[in-house]
Chains A and B, each alone.
Chain A
Amino acid sequence: MKKEWPLWEIFIRSQHGLAHKHVGSLHAPDAEMAVNNARDVYTRRNEGVSIWVVRSADIVASSPDDKEPLFEPSNSKVYRHPTFFPMPEAVKHI
């Protein structure tokens, strides 16, 4: 084989109504074969009911160097969690 097959990222939705989840990657010459191969490589034990394949080259990812500017701001905003607000014992169903 002269030409290297492109890499595809594989996402599988399991039976239980959850979102598609990234499970790994594989090589295939086109999208159709990527789905076929994903069936064999990632769903040999009924792991899913739906497969998405996306060319790895088409994925835009955040860079590890941006970790602080991206995620640091949410650290200080603890009031976004319900546990930030203590409720009086007497108040129910809240």
Chain B
Amino acid sequence: MYAQLVETGAQRVRGTDELEGQERVFQERIDAGVKIEPKDWMPEGYRKTLVRQISQHAHSEIVGQLPEGNWITRAPTLKRKAILLAKVQDEAGHGLYLYSAAETLGVSRDALIAQLHAGKAKYSSIFNYPTLTWADIGAIGWLVDGSAIINQIPLCRCSYGPYARAMVRVCKEESFHQRQGYDLLLALCNGTPEQKAMAQDALNRWWWPALMMFGPSDADSVNSAQSTQWGIKLFSNDALRQKMVDQTVPQAEYLGLTIPDPDLKWNEERGHYDFGAIDWDEFFNVIKGNGPCNRERLATRVQAYEDGEWFREGLNAHADKQAARGAAAA
């Protein structure tokens, strides 16, 4: 997802009855569905895990602007351009909500951004794929934001108050993202054969990376078990992925597009779609920094930050001057 393979530091998950003192009180609050707030006592592992998870999520929102931002100047109509601008601007907002939530845990946004720019922080694998055609912008909204919604809706109920509240804001805005993508693809699929072929090509390239967003099966993962006990992970990777497949297949059918998976078929008994094996080597390769666009994404991000330096300096100088004037007048 927007945060993948989040480390918790746990070797083994201890049940509530095995815990003592403050840690027990803390776990009982979580078990009772009471939100944890910034000034409350929390185990160091919980704090660190949340910093990792929320900052990765924030980085994903920010880096996630790049593949789409790439098409703003080339949108086919003024209307589509305005819509895409608004969508990309929303993602900047999502990043900011999330950095704010992370900061309540005692890290600074500047430090988190420095980690990202130094290549020491993770962000979602999905944003390391290129946007080759206009149809990719549709595929991202439909599949990537669609998957993000499936992941983020449960997080609105997660145990950490500031993260849950940030997710509520994000989810309110996310539905527009998915719909504008689907709407864009509908237009292409109702257009010329070339346009429809472009939509099919985008689906072919984005389908598997979108399924990989949910991360490998975590049925046996200690980290996931710990995050589940802490109430910061509410469904398994496989359950969320299945939900994505089940809801997306009929949407693809409506578009008249074919999902690039020969093993995809409805399983009457399970009441779900079966689907083919995912190439996890590709996923780990992208995570390690060797995806098609990892280097380019990071370089673009750093460049944007450096290009803004003169402006930030100007704002600082103005603020200092105003403060000095205020002090002189007082």
Footprint of B on A, CB under 8 Å?
Answer: 1, 3-4, 7, 24-27, 29-30, 32-33, 40-41, 44-45, 61, 63-64
In the bound complex, how far is the Cα of B313 from the Cα of A7, in angstroms? Answer: 17
Q: Choose one: A1, A4, A64; the contact of B39 (CB below 8 Å).
A: A64
CB-defined A-B contacts under 8 Å, sample of 25: A1-B110, A1-B309, A3-B316, A24-B166, A24-B169, A25-B103, A26-B96, A27-B109, A29-B315, A29-B316, A29-B318, A30-B318, A30-B319, A30-B322, A30-B323, A33-B319, A41-B96, A41-B97, A44-B89, A44-B173, A45-B173, A61-B39, A63-B39, A64-B39, A64-B41
Tell me the smallest distance from the CB of B325 to a CB of chain A, in Å: 12
CB-CB nearest in chain B for A10: B100
In the bound complex, how far is the Cα of B166 from the Cα of A1, in angstroms? Answer: 26
Q: Which of B40, B41, B316 has the most CB of A within 10 A?
A: B316
Main SS class of interface, B: helix
Tell me the smallest distance from the CB of B178 to a CB of chain A, in Å: 16
Q: What 4 A-B pairs are tightest by C-beta distance, nearest first?
A: A30-B319, A29-B319, A29-B315, A25-B100
Given contacts A1-B312, A24-B169, contact A64 B37 (CB under 8 A): yes
Tell whether B108 is near chain A: CB-to-CB under 8 Å: yes
Among B75-95, those with CB < 8 Å from A are 86, 89-90, 93
In the bound complex, how far is the Cα of B96 from the Cα of A40, in angstroms? Answer: 11
Q: Residues of B contacting A64 with CB < 8 Å?
A: 37, 39-41
Q: Residues of B contacting A24 with CB < 8 Å?
A: 97, 100, 165-166, 169
Among B173-226, those with CB < 8 Å from A are 173
CB-CB nearest in chain A for B176: A45
Among B51-90, those with CB < 8 Å from A are 86, 89-90
Footprint of A on B, CB under 8 Å?
Answer: 37, 39-41, 86, 89-90, 93, 96-97, 100, 103, 108-110, 165-166, 169, 173, 309, 312-313, 315-316, 318-319, 322-323
Apart from A29-B315, A29-B319, 14 more pairs, CB < 8 Å: A24-B100, A25-B100, A25-B103, A27-B109, A29-B312, A29-B318, A30-B318, A33-B319, A40-B89, A41-B96, A44-B86, A44-B90, A45-B173, A61-B39
Tell me the smallest distance from the CB of A55 to a CB of chain B, in Å: 12
In the bound complex, how far is the Cα of B96 from the Cα of A26, in angstroms? Answer: 7
Q: Choose one: B86, B166, B315, B323; the contact of A33 (CB below 8 Å).
A: B315
Tell me the smallest distance from the CB of B196 to a CB of chain A, in Å: 33
In the bound complex, how far is the Cα of B148 from the Cα of A56, in angstroms? Answer: 31
In the bound complex, how far is the Cα of B108 from the Cα of A41, in angstroms? Answer: 18
Q: Residues of A contacting B103 with CB < 8 Å?
A: 7, 25
Q: Residues of B contacting A32 with CB < 8 Å?
A: 322
In the bound complex, how far is the Cα of B27 from the Cα of A49, in angstroms? Answer: 41
CB-CB nearest in chain A for B96: A41
In the bound complex, how far is the Cα of B81 from the Cα of A88, in angstroms? Answer: 66
Cβ-defined contact, B110 with A4, below 8 A: yes
